[in-house]
Amino acid sequence: MSTARGWTPPNTSLFTDHYELTMLEAALHSGAAYRRSVFETFARRLPDGRRYGIVGGTGRLLEGLANFRFRDEELEFLARTNVVNDETISWLAGFKFSGDIYGYAEGEAYFAGSPILIVEATFAEACILETYVLSVLNHDSAIASAASRMIGAAAGRPCLEMGSRRTHEISAVAASRAAVIGGFAGTSNLAAGLRYGVPTVGTAAHSFTLLHDSEREAFEAQLASLGVGTTLLVDTYDVEPAVRTAVELAGPKLGAVRLDSGDLLEQARDVRALLDSLGNNNTKITVTSDLDEFAIAALASAPVDSYGVGTSLVTGSGAPTASLVYKLVSREDDDGEFVDVAKASKSKASVGGRKYALRRRNEHGVATGEVVGIGRPPENDGDDRPLLHQFVAGGEVLDGWTGPRAVVRAAGRHNESMSELPASALRLQRGEAVIPTEFEE
């Protein structure tokens, strides 16, 4: 498994819910724990009004799977607090996932009913992974999906993730990673840079300007340290004199100015005109300040070169979870034959059977549907693209799906997936999924 130098994924075995282990105990008692089973992660529906989702978190999940082990510390806690009995403690002491895992490549677009992750193992092994699987995929897919919408709204202008201070410190790293998978050009989070090799960016905040006796002194210090290619924050006091001072000190090679407050549309136009009048035609303008996909779209006509996005991105921009579920869809019976099983609860029904999926495309390569086969692969008409990949074989994570290389791969997958969706996928107005999901038996 590939990970960044100097960083080891944490033990993940207790990133779970109490009832996962009590189910394990009861299944060990009944003898059903060793029945071969198929669990599936999917969304019953997309977040309200969304037209597609983007898979995020698979690489983090696989990295954590390698450390989903019950050490002495975890076993002592479970015994001391009477979570499970001695037989279950003994089983957990020897646990190492030995099954197979398949799923959509990270960065792939998904829709309601898409079998995003399929876990094939004994009931015992697959059951105790449920909470960990969902916590990772629900969070990261929500962020990747929000990032993708923002990138679509930006229409080619780069977006930078800067939301670490608006979320939990561990979630911040995951959000940075998911944002880059969803198309963002970089992050302010250094831990994400270390762990996943994503580009990190940043220059100065308002406090740096306020630290100095004048804005001029602050700019002089930053330019002397970081060079004229840096980005100067010009709205601590008054934007126009700040821009004039920046140009006076840095000259025409000033890299960029940043706007973080006020009417960004009007200010960007005024600053662009001022920069051009001063001969700084190549100095770029970046904007921040509580942006989301709708604010970015509203700035489409503004002379803005890049966007910095924080709070809205790391909270999913109105959809903080992807609402994915993890359900048993097939298991062995007493004769060793697989039988399909499904939940029938009103509004929470699931579709039984092991799934196979492909993206139906027309002769122009444009996606027209999500086709999910039940129990067998759906028929491929030649233009269709199979969607499932194997990530884990016999408990071993396969090469290429973790670490920094996986982030690059997932970002590429996102770009390719979006390029084949109908153009209506980029609409921000509330609507139905951009392509339908069809089930074939």
Give the span between the Cα atoms of 389 and 44, in whole angstroms.
21
The CB-side HSE value for 10 (13 A sphere, CA atoms) comes to 7
- β 100-104/231-233 pair status: unpaired
pLDDT, residue 343, reads: 83
- Encode pLDDT of 88-142 as tens digits: 999 999 999 999 999 999 999 999 999 999 999 999 999 999 999 999 999 999 9
Indicate the SS3 state at residue 439.
strand
Taking 70 as the pLDDT cut, the residues of the chain under it are: 1-7
User: How many beta carbons lie within 10 A of that of residue 260, not counting itself?
Assistant: 18
pLDDT, residue 345, reads: 79
pLDDT, residue 350, reads: 85
Please, what are the domains in the chain?
18-128+323-440 (3.20.140.10), 156-314 (3.20.20.70)
pLDDT, residue 1, reads: 47
pLDDT, residue 359, reads: 98
Give the span between the Cα atoms of 371 and 387, in whole angstroms.
10
Give the span between the Cα atoms of 74 and 121, in whole angstroms.
23
- Encode pLDDT of 351-392 as tens digits: 999 999 999 999 999 999 999 999 999 999 888 999 999 999
Let me know: does 365 contact 348? Beta carbons within 8 Å: no
